[in-house]
């Protein structure tokens, strides 16, 4: 079996063969001006020790960055001025405000964050009643090549650092309203594992940002080795993009199936059940005439039988130049009814931010690169 890196390389090479991408220089970075955002507590401690500071200063600095969301050294009022100056001469904080926002008629906002000159990711803020969900990105583009996905069609440009992932939360104007975070934006989170694990640690550390792990969901198409690590290393929720219970069909939709078959993934989940406090869900985008029959529903029931999991049915939103169409509402309801009759909690997810291309599967910064560069 090929390893996922081989798959990624093959997918990346394949994507590069068909599409032209703007060639951008990586931003000039020097270690001495590296950002503080993204550093873990032990890294902050080492930095403080190297600058002759007492250990309690490390905790203060860490809390300023993550807990108080300070975006300037001036705000760090209980740190000695001389040390703040020393820090400022060597390190930027690393906070980056969004470059642009699009606002949907349903209240959803899509933010564009620059990660380096010419490279952008999108994050969606989705308010609903008393809660608000942030859908964040982990990569600029994606290597995984799922045929229905706008991000996949953009190809892969770069990984985000843990700091760039956390920045999408800390620099969001609506940060204080956020009750839930989903790693469902651009990119495959488990293809950028270290940055994702570090960002989860920063989000959930009570001394740091301090969010409950049960309010955070990481979504994957199923990179099994990293998923196994996630089951052990994290208390956050897990969502699996399944989209078809049949191997051939899934392979045609999602090349990852060549490397990590869904049946193998489900078996891993059955052998390593999540703690009762963690949620497991299967995401299922419904394509008209392709994966929306009752036969599919029955096979899905058979596949996930025995798992404590919810299924979320998702409307497919057409991507230009693709012939795939979304299932109609009645077909989705029939599919849902069958799953419910078999005892599986099943929702039909509301589409949000459709008019600003923020809905599921539509995030892409390919077209924005050119126009937004002109704004810089």
Residues known to be catalytic = 122, 360
Q: Rounded to the nearest whole angstrom, what is the least distance from the CB of residue 116 to ligand SF4 in the complex?
A: 19
Q: Which of residues 175-234 bind ligand SF4 (CB under 6 A)?
A: 186-188, 221
> Binding residues for ligand SF4, how many (CB under 6 A)?
11
- CA-to-CA distance for 85 and 56, rounded, in angstroms? 18
Binding positions for ligand SF4, 152-171, rule CB under 6 A: 152
Residue 286 binds ligand SF4, judged by CB under 6 A: no
Helices (H), 94-192: 150-154, 162-170
Q: Which stretch binds ligand SF4 (CB under 6 A): 76-84, 147-155, 306-314, 324-332?
A: 147-155
| Residue 122 contacts residue 100 (beta carbons within 8 Å) | no
Q: What's 318's DSSP letter?
A: P
Kindly tell me which of 149 and 224 has the beta carbon lying closer to ligand SF4: 149
Three-state DSSP class for residue 239 = strand
Q: Which stretch binds ligand SF4 (CB under 6 A): 99-107, 119-127, 143-151, 222-230?
A: 143-151
| Count of all residues that appear for the chain in the document | 376
Considering only 108, 115, 133, 151, the residue that binds ligand SF4 (CB under 6 A) is: 151
Residue 18, C-beta contacts closer than 8 angstroms, at least 6 positions apart: none
Taking the complex as a whole, the smallest distance from the CB of residue 207 to ligand SF4 amounts, in Å, to 32
Measured CA to CA in angstroms, residue 22 lies from 25, 154, 361 at distances of 10, 11, 22
| Interacting residue with ligand SF4 among 58, 61, 142, 303 (CB under 6 A) | 142
Place of tokens 């859908």: 135
Specify burial of residue 19 (Cβ count, 10 A radius: 0-12, 13-18, 19+). Answer: exposed
| Nearer residue to ligand SF4 within complex by CB, 47 or 144 | 144
Question: Of residues 247-276, which lie at the interface with ligand SF4 (CB under 6 A)?
Answer: none
Q: Which stretch binds ligand SF4 (CB under 6 A): 104-112, 149-157, 209-217, 318-326?
A: 149-157
Between 188 and 198, name the residue whose CB sits nearer to ligand SF4.
188
105 contact partners, CB below 8 Å, separation of at least 6: 355
| Min dist. Cβ of residue 133 to ligand SF4 (A) | 17
Query: Nearer to ligand SF4 by C-beta: 187 or 326?
Result: 187
CA distance linking residue 126 with residue 135, whole number of Å: 8
Q: Which stretch binds ligand SF4 (CB under 6 A): 142-150, 198-206, 296-304, 316-324?
A: 142-150
By C-beta, is 83 or 246 nearer to ligand SF4?
Answer: 246
Q: Minimum distance from CB of 187 to ligand SF4 (Å)? A: 6
Q: Are 147 and 252 in contact (CB under 8 A)?
A: yes
Instruction: Give the Å distances, CA to CA, from 119 to 25, 205, 372.
Output: 10, 29, 10
Rounded to 5°, the CA angle 247-3-278 comes to: 70
Binding site for ligand SF4 (CB under 6 A): 142, 144-146, 149, 151-152, 186-188, 221
């Amino acid at each position: 079996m090929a390893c996922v890196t081989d798959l990624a390389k093959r997918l990346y090479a394949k994507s590069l063969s068909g599409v032209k991408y703007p060639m951008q220089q990586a931003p000039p970075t020097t270690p001495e001006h590296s950002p503080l955002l993204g550093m873990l507590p032990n890294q902050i401690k080492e930095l403080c020790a190297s600058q002759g500071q007492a250990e309690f200063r490390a905790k203060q600095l860490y809390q300023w960055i993550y807990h108080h969301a300070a975006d300037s050294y001036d705000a760090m009022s209980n740190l000695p001025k001389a040390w703040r100056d020393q820090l400022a001469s060597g390190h930027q904080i690393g906070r980056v405000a969004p470059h642009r926002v699009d606002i949907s008629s349903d209240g959803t906002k899509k933010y564009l964050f620059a990660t380096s000159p010419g490279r952008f990711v999108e994050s969606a803020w989705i308010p609903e009643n008393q809660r608000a969900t942030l859908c964040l990105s982990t990569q600029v583009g994606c290597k995984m090549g799922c045929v229905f996905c706008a991000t996949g069609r953009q190809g892969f440009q770069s990984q985000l650092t843990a700091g760039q992932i956390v920045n999408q939360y800390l620099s969001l104007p609506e940060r204080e309203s956020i009750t839930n975070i989903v790693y469902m934006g651009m990119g495959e989170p488990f293809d950028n594992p270290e940055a994702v694990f570090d960002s989860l640690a920063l989000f959930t550390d009570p001394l740091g940002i301090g969010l409950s792990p049960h309010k955070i969901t990481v979504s994957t198409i199923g990179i099994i080795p990293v998923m196994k690590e996630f089951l052990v290393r994290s208390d956050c929720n897990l969502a699996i993009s399944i989209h078809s219970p049949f191997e051939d069909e899934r392979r045609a939709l999602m090349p990852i199936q060549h490397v990590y078959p869904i049946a193998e993934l489900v078996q891993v989940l059955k052998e390593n059940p999540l703690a009762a406090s963690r949620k497991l869900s299967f995401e299922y985008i419904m394509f008209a005439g392709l994966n929306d029959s009752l036969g599919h529903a029955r096979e899905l029931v058979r596949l996930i039988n025995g798992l404590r999991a919810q299924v979320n049915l998702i409307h497919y939103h057409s991507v230009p130049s693709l012939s795939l169409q979304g299932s109609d509402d009645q077909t989705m309801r029939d599919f849902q009814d069958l799953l419910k009759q078999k005892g599986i909690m099943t929702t039909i997810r509301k589409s949000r931010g459709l008019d600003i291309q923020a809905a599921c599967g539509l995030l892409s910064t390919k077209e924005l690169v050119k126009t937004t560069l002109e704004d810089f």
